[in-house]
Structure 1
Amino acid sequence: MLTKTRVIESLQSMPEQITMEDIIDRLQSLDDLETALDDIRKGNGYQHEDVMSEARQWIKDKQWQQP
C-alpha cells in the first residue's frame, strides 16, 4: 500500500512542469511497484533461478520450431 509520504517524495522528484498524465503514470507505476514488493514480502512470486530455467527451456523449444 502506498503511503502519503512515498507519494509526495515521488512527485517532488519530478520536474517542475508536468502533465496530469505524467502524474497518473507515476502514481500507477509507484502503486504497481508497491503491490509487487508486498507480494514478494508475502512469499508470492518466483525465484530467479526458476524463471531463468523456464526461459532457457522456452528458447530451446522455440529453436526446434523455427523453419
Structure 2
Amino acid sequence: MLTKTRVIESLASMPEQFTMEEIIDRFQSLDDLENALDAIRKGNLHKHEDVMTEARQWLKTQKWPQP
C-alpha cells in the first residue's frame, strides 16, 4: 500500500510539468514496488531453481516457429 509520504516524495522528484499519464504511470510503479516489497517481507518468494524448472517445462510445451 502506498503512503502519503511516499507519494509526496515521488511528486517532489518529478519535473514541474507532467502529463496525467506520467503521474498515473509513476503511481502505478510505486504501488507495484510497494506490493513486491510487502510480498518479500511476508516471505512470499520463489526459489530461482523452481522458477527455472517451471520456465523450462513451459518452453517445452510451446510451438516455436522454425527459421
Fold match by TM threshold 0.5? yes
Tell me which protein shows more helix as a share of its residues.
1
- Following TM superposition, where does structure 1 have runs of at least 4 consecutive aligned residues deviating by more than 6 angstroms? none
- Within 1, Cα distance between the matches of 2:48 and 2:7? 29
Classify 1:21/1:48 alpha carbon distance in 2 versus 1 (closer, same or farther; 3 Å): same
Computed over aligned residues only, the root mean square deviation of the Cα atoms, in angstroms, reads 2.0
TM-score (norm 2): 0.71
- Within 2, Cα distance between the matches of 1:24 and 1:58? 33
User: Sequence identity, in percent?
Assistant: 77
Classify 1:18/1:66 alpha carbon distance in 2 versus 1 (closer, same or farther; 3 Å): closer
Q: Which runs of 5+ in 2 are unaligned?
A: none
TM-score (norm 1): 0.71
Q: CA deviation at 1:15?
A: 2.2
Deviates most, 35-44 or 2-11: 2-11
Aligned residues: 65
- 2:10 counterpart of 1:6: no
Per-residue CA distance 1:14-63 (angstroms, 9 max, x = gap): 2221012211221122112101210121112322221112111211232x
Q: Which runs of 5+ in 1 are unaligned?
A: none
